[in-house]
């Protein structure tokens, strides 16, 4: 699970928090509430998730409860069933 967390954090820092330390972002911080990601950035995040984890994020799944923090993304990926295969792979 730590590898998945690292992949997501690396993406956030490389694309939205350039030059900041990864220690500055806690896993439960809201990307939207903190102004880390806007609506365009959310589309970039979705593309990253789809490409990295081989899933399709359905329109009805584009809600903050699924994608608004590192913890929420990890929980979403678990519900989609893709983490187990990624960790075994």
Q: Are 25 and 70 in contact (CB under 8 A)?
A: yes
Q: In the chain, where are the structural domains located?
A: 2-88
Report the predicted TM-score, pTM, of the whole model to 2 decimal places: 0.86
pLDDT at 65 over 70: yes
Q: Are 50 and 11 in contact (CB under 8 A)?
A: no
When pLDDT is cut at 50, 70 and 90, the band that residue 2 belongs to is confident
Query: Which of the two residues, 13 and 21, has the higher pLDDT score?
Result: 13
Domain 2-88 has CATH 3.40.50.2000: no
């Amino acid at each position: 699970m730590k590898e998945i967390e690292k992949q997501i954090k690396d993406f956030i820092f490389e694309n939205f928090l350039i030059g900041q330390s990864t220690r500055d972002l806690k896993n439960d911080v809201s990307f939207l509430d903190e102004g880390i990601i806007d609506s365009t950035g959310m589309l970039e995040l979705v593309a990253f998730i789809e490409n990295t984890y081989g899933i399709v994020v359905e329109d009805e799944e584009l809600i903050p409860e699924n994608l608004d923090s590192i913890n929420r993304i990890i929980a979403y990926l678990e519900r989609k069933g893709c983490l187990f295969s990624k960790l075994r792979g």
